[in-house]
Amino acid sequence: MEPSFLREVIRKRIQDGRLPRTPLIEVGHGQGIGQACDACGSIIAKNQRMTVRMSADDWGTLRFHDECFQIWDTERNTNGC
């Protein structure tokens, strides 16, 4: 996915509440297991790295491509969201 488009998708998901603004608790890292990334919606393939996080607000589990997590972490703190 084009980086600027990916950033816009993540920004929109933060704005509409599908992704939190609050910090997340790290649960683990590893290879993808074929589930969707909560940030971009694409499948995290077995040959891709993912991070699994938990929201302290509702104890929901979130899975991210490593790159998507980094973008989310930057965007959640920007005024554009």
User: What pLDDT band is residue 79 in, cutting at 50, 70 and 90?
Assistant: low
| Contact (Cβ atoms closer than 8 angstroms) between residue 44 and residue 36 | yes
Out of 16-20, 52-56, 76-80, least confident range: 76-80
**Residue 40 sits in which domain range?**
3-75
Can you tell me whether residue 70 is helix, strand or coil?
helix
Q: Say how many domains are in the chain.
A: 1
Within-domain flag for 80: no
User: Which percentage of the chain shows pLDDT scores above 70?
Assistant: 96
Can you tell me whether residue 72 is helix, strand or coil?
helix
Within-domain flag for 81: no
Q: Which residue type, as a one-letter code, is found at position 57?
A: D
